[in-house]
Structure 1
Amino acid sequence: MRSVRKRWTICTISILLIFYKTKEIARTEEHQEAQPSGDGDSSLSRSMVNNSDKINQKSGSSVFQHSVERWKINSSLVLEIRKNILRFLDAERDISVVKSSFKPGDVIHYVLDRRRTLNISQDLHSLLPEVSPMKNRRFKMCAVVGNSGILLDSGCGKEIDSHEFVIRCNLAPVVEFAADVGTKSDFITMNPSVVQRAFGGFRNESDREKFVHRLSMLNDSVLWIPAFMVKGGEKHVEWVNALILKNKLKVRTAYPSLRLIHAVRGSLPSLCILLSS
């Protein structure tokens, strides 16, 4: 259980860091020359106030409607945090290894289990992107949507879909809850364990069809699979890759770079301080 939590922590921080670089970039670049003023520099918690205790949903209104107006971006602090993150993170490069990184048959060590190795299969190599899926891509407004159920009955679907780039976690179902979570999906994470937990380990044709149907709804979205973290999920990754190729699904696969995971793993204490400061 502890190792699973550790893996989820690393994956979550990786995603947040990658897209922190792109979020609101146009707005912050306009303030690069601005000087700190008054209380705006005091702390992130004071300059970006959510006042969640005052969010009382009203009929027909979004659960976020009242809180958004109370947020104030401290551009100077945002730029400082971004500068610190960029010391070890390159969002464009680290979001995925590319075809030129490996060739079929190459042997690599798992990041969190260095004694174990993984052979790069032909299927895996064929699904590696030619270039980073985030190459030259920047967005003014992104949405990160979890799958805890907190959005049920929120009516936030349209608001979420209005964002330029929508990130979702672990292939959470959306069609059934479109009014609350929206349907737009640009980047979707998929831990290999999802195959076992949500799709029965592909034990029968029904499970496989359910999975293929879920992926077919993603169209040209990026499916982000942390395949190189720890031994145990490689068979699930191979099953997923085989189904994508067999069914000629349009989803674009991406696999986080080894450098990214090493960087995040080695910086967890400082990142926790950075993200909570």
Structure 2
Amino acid sequence: MRSVRKRWTICTISILLIFYKTKEIARTEEHQEAQPSGDGDSSLSRSMVNNSDKINQKSGSSVFQHSVERWKINSSLVLEIRKNILRFLDAERDISVVKSSFKPGDVIHYVLDRRRTLNISQDLHSLLPEVSPMKNRRFKMCAVVGNSGILLDSGCGKEIDSHEFVIRCNLAPVVEFAADVGTKSDFITMNPSVVQRAFGGFRNESDREKFVHRLSMLNDSVLWIPAFMVKGGEKHVEWVNALILKNKLKVRTAYPSLRLIHAVRGASPEL
């Protein structure tokens, strides 16, 4: 179980980093060339410094604050990383499979457990997007918000919400911590294991209501569920899908393509 969770965590973080880099850095070459020094730091670097300063003021960590103030974006390295990523990854296409990819009853192999298979249910198929939720979407300022607790007492909520696109991890609560983490949510990851860890495996009505309430706060956000990785989480995915359909929630679902997971693992896609 620990091994499975570790792989989930590694893959999710890797995917977020790839998605963040390819979307947030896209089309920045001219901007970077036009600002070679001094004020040439991007709005992203200023945002990171400002956010870190707020945290440091609370924690009193002068050593870390000093290092942050000297932090600069290595523009040439950023572009090199982006080009290497885009050689084998299309974030817009691979962020989610689409409805035309499968039909109900299709059998596919799990990415990390090729001996096991998954049947595409009617509920799952009905929630697949018609087109990629990221199709033709570009953003100048994105924020990736984790749920480790480092933002507690930071007062960064308003600054996070000022970004064009906000990515959050594993359906973390936001309303209770709005002053520190903000409330804007455009893209939210949700590993199937969250159902068990945060919502009691839906053992009773209270757990289900809590989950539905959490999703209802997302409105038109994209809920990103890695459904095709390993055997064991399929029942949780089906429970989530059933609740979304039953309660007619406005959240948009997305399921990462098998090609994306292969790319993150550094393996060649077999599909």
Place the TM-score, normalised by the shorter chain, in its bin. 0.7 to 0.9
- Does the CA-based 8 Å contact 1:28-1:78 persist in structure 2? no
Cα RMSD between the aligned structures?
5.2
* Of 177-186 and 49-58, the range deviating more from structure 2: 49-58
SS in 2 for 1:23: helix
Change over 3 Å in CA distance of 1:126–1:60 after alignment to 2: farther
SS in 2 for 1:188: strand
**Aligned residues: percent identity?**
99
Change over 3 Å in CA distance of 1:2–1:109 after alignment to 2: same
Change over 3 Å in CA distance of 1:57–1:130 after alignment to 2: same
Superposition deviation, residue 264 in structure 1: 1.1
**Greater share of helix:** 2
- Does the CA-based 8 Å contact 2:55-2:153 persist in structure 1? no
Unaligned runs of 5+ in 1: 270-275
SS in 2 for 1:26: coil
- Does the CA-based 8 Å contact 1:47-1:73 persist in structure 2? no
* Of 110-119 and 63-72, the range deviating more from structure 2: 63-72
Superposition deviation, residue 165 in structure 1: 0.7
Superposition deviation, residue 10 in structure 1: 3.6
Q: What residue is the counterpart of 1:71 in the other structure?
A: 71
* Of 204-213 and 43-52, the range deviating more from structure 2: 43-52
- Does the CA-based 8 Å contact 1:55-1:67 persist in structure 2? no
Unaligned runs of 5+ in 2: none
Superposition deviation, residue 14 in structure 1: 3.6
Q: In 2, distance between residues paired with 1:131 and 1:62?
A: 48
Superposition deviation, residue 198 in structure 1: 0.6
When normalised by structure 1's length, the TM-score is 0.83
Superposition deviation, residue 148 in structure 1: 1.0
Superposition deviation, residue 20 in structure 1: 3.2
- Does the CA-based 8 Å contact 1:109-1:116 persist in structure 2? yes
- Does the CA-based 8 Å contact 1:226-1:255 persist in structure 2? yes
Q: In 1, distance between residues paired with 2:150 and 2:144?
A: 13
- Does the CA-based 8 Å contact 1:227-1:233 persist in structure 2? yes
Superposition deviation, residue 56 in structure 1: 3.1
CA offsets 1:152-183 (integer angstroms, 9 cap, x no match) = 11111011111111110111100000001100
Q: What residue is the counterpart of 1:105 in the other structure?
A: 105
CA offsets 1:90-110 (integer angstroms, 9 cap, x no match) = 100110000011000000000
- Does the CA-based 8 Å contact 1:51-1:70 persist in structure 2? no
- Does the CA-based 8 Å contact 1:223-1:251 persist in structure 2? yes
CA offsets 1:207-241 (integer angstroms, 9 cap, x no match) = 10000000000000000000000000000000000
- Does the CA-based 8 Å contact 2:144-2:167 persist in structure 1? yes
